[in-house]
Amino acid sequence: MKIAVACDHAGYPMKAVVLDAVRRAGHTPLDLGADSAEPVDYPDYAEKVGRAIQSGQAERGILICGSGVGACIAANKMTGVYACLCHDVYSAHQGVEHDEMNVLCLGARIIGPELAREIVAAFLSARFIGHDPGQERHARRVAKIRALEARR
């Protein structure tokens, strides 16, 4: 998969760790910045990841800011972007498996590099199970989320 990765200045120190984790998981990262620790605005980078997903340039995305919260809020304003803040491995894979999450948000000031690597690996190895026999309830629930989005 191609994975769009972006960060703000607070997330910049962790971006190299995330890019490496994407490569180690066998995927191709698309580095959308930021390219330094100079102050920038996280909504601009959330939009870059969202546009990459909307256009099909990337299948999933990873956003990194100080807490992960702002990037998550901004990304979720975009149609077709389903971002979740995950600071644990379980949420990172379960969000994909049950909820069809396509953007992982991380807080560089909250978690360390080793946990970030594990979370990224869990996110990238997961797949949506809603179309598997006996798991249709997940597809039904995701369809309801899509309907909410359509009524915005």
pLDDT score of 52: 98
2-7 and 103-107: which strand pairing?
Answer: unpaired
Mean pLDDT of 131-140: 93
SS3 139: helix
CB 105 within 8 A of CB 99: no
* Residue 105 annotated to the active site: no
pLDDT score of 91: 98
Is the predicted pLDDT of residue 152 greater than 90, yes or no? no
| Residue pLDDT, tens place only, 23-76 | 999 999 999 999 999 999 999 999 999 999 999 999 999 999 999 999 999 999
Mean pLDDT of 76-80: 97
Is the predicted pLDDT of residue 137 greater than 90, yes or no? yes
Structural domain of 43: 2-150
> DSSP letter string over 73-109?
HHHTTSTT--EEE-SSHHHHHHHHHHH---EEEEETT
Residue from 7, 27, 65, 86 carrying the catalytic annotation? 65
Q: What is the CATH number of the domain that holds 75?
A: 3.40.1400.10
Is the predicted pLDDT of residue 79 greater than 80, yes or no? yes
| Residue pLDDT, tens place only, 94-133 | 999 999 999 999 999 999 999 999 999 999 999 999 999 9
pTM (predicted TM-score)? 0.97
CB 11 within 8 A of CB 18: no
Q: What is the number of domains present in the chain?
A: 1
151/58: higher pLDDT? 58
d(CA 129, CA 4): 22
The alpha carbon of 80 is separated from its chain's Cα centroid by a whole number of angstroms, namely: 12
* Residue 86 annotated to the active site: no
